[in-house]
């Protein structure tokens, strides 16, 4: 399908669809504003699933970790550098000859990989690996997954009934047919065997890739074995394996008459010679019930996503999981998150990641999304990686990942990047309950967790063309520096709003035009503002892992709008269970100098409400009444910063019941 947008005539925009098959259902959403349009779309495509609390932590990956010693070293170095690392990932390097559901016995032996996973779990951290759909086609050679697939007859076929064989990472490969009635049992079984909690690789989430599906077999793919040999799939290992006893951890933290292969209209898919089967499975491959790949190609990745999600639930039916995919279709957000594919370490790709992310969060209802931080291909630089680390802290899915031919780019590799990562992770973790609440709301009604600026200010036409600023949740405005070697950025703050610096809490002076130039934004900083009208729950400090973060006290920041009004919500549950027996869901309202917090304290927080900050207060009040108690007016309890116009009310009381606070 080609979708062409014609906006060459002033005031006129048209959209033209050019399709080569299938049935088109058009839905027209007539919401009164962009937010309502997104919510209406969610009613059709489905609202996104809730994700585990830990999934918002930092994820680290690389294509090119050579062996189990490499993986363990990265975990150790993050701990030594004092950079919070929540989840360690491994690309296809861990596989035996790049065959899914295998471990290389020399480079990634099961006993040492279980040691790594146990170390992570003992320290409250998580582990994720990649699983591709294509299975190396080596029947009767001891590769049990493909033998079981052949036995159950669940692989994609040619029209004549023979199995389709392409070329993927392991060499000659076959693909599961996600339409087959037995494929879910097959997929469940492979997950149960390989990812067995007591005897296998006990993962916490899964990363699925190459699921368009992708193929490296040049057309016509008549001899995938020869093409595999020519391209050295699977490639030989570049280094000898380590000694299996190498110490890795010190103590540390229907058919129609038509041309499927040559349709009458050639879409602009950038394939060689315009061939639809190039770099993927053949479009005339036949699925179960004689469905052709031509008709259902775009569903392949999402059907794998659904099956993988169900397979993970089958392992632990009571727990949420994290599945990250490359290929998606409408409705995929009910089961998976997405990374934006293989990007490059360039400033252009850094900037483009914002628009890519916003499309999936604000429109497509796939909010757990992010780009490979610092870039996947080519070599990053210290300054680019520092800026990208700061921006990546505001991706819903935050992962550093790059390929084996690029330089290593873990955040601890450069001093500037280390500091940038620490700074932004502290901000991210303090805001984690705020964005977790936004994800819960999205799961109920489809309200986007990230929004373009025009979503919040739909009547301000100046916001329509802004691509590099966005709202994290509904009230945190992120405005990254986007130009190389620059330490300044001009941002737009719509004049109808009121804004406060997130770090200092000082109000931003009003601008008639809305254009504000910020200078001296060094590479370890990112401009972040609270949009007036918000009550924002924060943890008082960050932590090294999210389990520890949940033990930190709360503070509440009130950022009134121009009318002196603000509101917010806080949702807390156990962070991992699918069915929640106890939930805390609070509504926070502020107006006329009075804060009221009401709701259900079903899930015990077991922490204190350390303080309440009220921003934009013109003068020190004569006193503060908290929950009917006597006035709080001592210097210890109430501090007023006249320069920043911030009133701090120190409480240190248990956060376990509704209350009110009144300025006097």
Query: Residue 253: what pLDDT?
Result: 43
| Model confidence pLDDT, tens digit, residues 513-563 | 999 999 999 999 999 999 999 999 999 999 999 999 999 999 999 999 999
pTM of the model: 0.89
Length reported for the chain: 664
Paired tokens of 328: 């998606």
CATH of 532-663, one of 2.150.10.10, 1.20.1250.20, 3.40.980.10, 2.60.40.1180: 2.60.40.1180
Q: Is pLDDT of 631 > 70? A: no
Segment (H or E) for 515: strand 515-518
**Structure confidence at residue 632 as a pLDDT band (50, 70, 90):** low
Catalytic member of 40, 342, 382, 650:
342
Residue 472 phi, psi (nearest 5): -95, 105
Query: Residue 256: what pLDDT?
Result: 53
In the chain, domain spans: 532-663
Report how many helices (DSSP H) and strands (DSSP E) the chain contains, helices first.
14, 31
Query: Residue 395: what pLDDT?
Result: 99
- What's the rounded Cα separation, in Å, for the pair 557 and 454? 24
| Model confidence pLDDT, tens digit, residues 633-650 | 655 689 999 999 999 999
With a pLDDT cut of 70, the percent of the chain lying above it is 97
Paired tokens of 558: 């009130």
Q: Is pLDDT of 116 > 50? A: yes
| Model confidence pLDDT, tens digit, residues 220-252 | 899 999 999 999 999 999 999 999 999 998 654
- What's the rounded Cα separation, in Å, for the pair 45 and 37? 12
- What's the rounded Cα separation, in Å, for the pair 477 and 508? 13
| Model confidence pLDDT, tens digit, residues 403-455 | 999 999 999 999 999 999 999 999 999 999 999 999 999 999 999 999 999 99
Q: Give the residue-averaged pLDDT of 11-28.
A: 88
Catalytic member of 106, 212, 637, 650:
212
Catalytic member of 50, 209, 433, 561:
209
**CB neighbours of residue 408 within 10 Å:** 15
Query: Residue 45: what pLDDT?
Result: 95
- What's the rounded Cα separation, in Å, for the pair 634 and 617? 18
Told to judge if 202 belongs to the known catalytic residues of this protein, a careful annotator would answer no
Query: Residue 258: what pLDDT?
Result: 67
| Model confidence pLDDT, tens digit, residues 294-310 | 999 999 999 999 999 99
Told to judge if 25 belongs to the known catalytic residues of this protein, a careful annotator would answer no
Told to judge if 275 belongs to the known catalytic residues of this protein, a careful annotator would answer no
Q: At what angle do helices 347-358 and 382-392 cross, to 10 degrees?
A: 10
Q: Are 468 and 529 in contact (CB under 8 A)?
A: no
Radius of gyration of the chain (CA): 26
């Amino acid at each position: 399908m080609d979708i062409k947008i014609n906006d060459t005539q002033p005031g006129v925009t048209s959209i033209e669809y050019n399709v080569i098959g299938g049935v088109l259902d058009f839905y027209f959403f007539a919401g009164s504003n962009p937010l309502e349009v997104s919510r209406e779309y969610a009613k059709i495509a489905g609202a996104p699933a809730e994700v585990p609390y830990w999934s918002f932590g930092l994820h680290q990956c690389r294509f090119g970790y050579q062996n189990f010693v490499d993986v363990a070293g990265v975990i150790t170095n993050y701990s030594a550098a004092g950079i919070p690392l929540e989840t360690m990932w491994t690309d296809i390097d861990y596989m035996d000859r790049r065959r899914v559901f295998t471990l290389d016995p020399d480079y990634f032996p099961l006993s040492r990989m279980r040691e790594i996973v146990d170390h992570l779990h003992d320290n409250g951290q998580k582990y994720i690996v990649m699983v591709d759909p294509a299975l190396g086609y080596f029947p009767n050679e001891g590769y049990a997954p493909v033998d079981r697939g052949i036995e159950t007859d669940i692989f994609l076929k040619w029209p004549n009934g023979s199995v389709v064989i392409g070329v993927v990472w392991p060499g000659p490969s076959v693909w599961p047919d996600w339409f087959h009635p037995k494929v879910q049992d097959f997929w469940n079984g492979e997950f149960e065997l390989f990812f067995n909690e007591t005897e296998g690789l006990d993962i916490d989430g899964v990363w699925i890739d190459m699921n368009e599906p992708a193929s490296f077999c040049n057309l016509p793919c008549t001899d995938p074995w020869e093409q595999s040999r020519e391209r050295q799939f699977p490639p030989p290992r570049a280094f000898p394996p380590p000694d299996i006893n190498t110490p890795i951890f010190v103590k540390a933290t229907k058919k129609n008459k038509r041309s499927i292969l040559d349709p009458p209209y050639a879409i602009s898919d950038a394939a060689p010679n315009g061939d639809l089967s190039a770099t993927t499975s053949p479009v005339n491959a036949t699925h179960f019930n004689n469905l052709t790949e031509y008709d259902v190609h775009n569903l392949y990745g999402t059907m794998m996503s659904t099956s993988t999600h169900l397979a993970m639930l089958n392992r632990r039916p009571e727990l949420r999981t994290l599945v990250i995919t490359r290929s998606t279709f409408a409705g995929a957000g009910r089961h998976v998150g997405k990374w934006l594919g293989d990007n490059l370490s360039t400033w252009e790709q850094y900037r483009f990641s914002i628009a890519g992310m916003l499309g999936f969060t604000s429109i497509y209802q796939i909010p757990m999304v992010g780009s490979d931080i610092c870039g996947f291909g080519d070599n990053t630089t210290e300054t680019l990686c520092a800026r990208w680390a700061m921006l990546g802290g505001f991706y819903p899915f935050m992962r550093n990942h790059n390929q084996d031919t690029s330089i290593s780019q873990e955040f601890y590799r450069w001093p500037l990047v280390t500091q940038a990562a620490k700074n932004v992770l502290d901000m991210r973790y303090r805001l984690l309950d705020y964005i977790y609440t936004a994800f819960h709301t999205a799961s109920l009604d489809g309200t986007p967790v990230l929004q373009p600026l025009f979503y919040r200010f739909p009547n301000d036409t100046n916001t329509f063309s802004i691509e590099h600023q966005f709202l994290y949740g509904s009230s945190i405005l992120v405005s990254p520096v986007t130009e190389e070697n620059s330490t300044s950025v001009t941002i737009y703050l719509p004049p109808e709003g009121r804004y406060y610096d997130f770090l200092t809490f000082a109000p931003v002076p009003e601008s008639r035009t809305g254009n504000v130039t910020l200078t001296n934004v060094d590479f370890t900083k990112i401009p972040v503002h609270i949009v007036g009208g918000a009550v924002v729950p924060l943890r008082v400090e960050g932590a090294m892992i999210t389990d520890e973060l949940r033990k930190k006290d709360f503070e509440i920041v009130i950022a009134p709008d121009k009318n002196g009004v603000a509101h917010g919500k806080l949702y807390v549950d156990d962070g991992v269970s699918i069915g929640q027996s106890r939930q805390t869901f609070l509504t926070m309202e502020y107006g006329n100098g009075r804060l009221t917090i009401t709701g259900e304290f079903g899930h015990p927080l077991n922490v204190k409400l350390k303080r309440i900050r009220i921003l934009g207060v013109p003068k020190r009040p004569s006193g503060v009444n908290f929950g009917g108690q006597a006035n709080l007016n001592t210097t210890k309890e109430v501090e007023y910063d006249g320069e920043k116009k911030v009133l701090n009310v120190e409480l240190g009381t248990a956060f376990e019941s509704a209350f009110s606070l009144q300025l006097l």
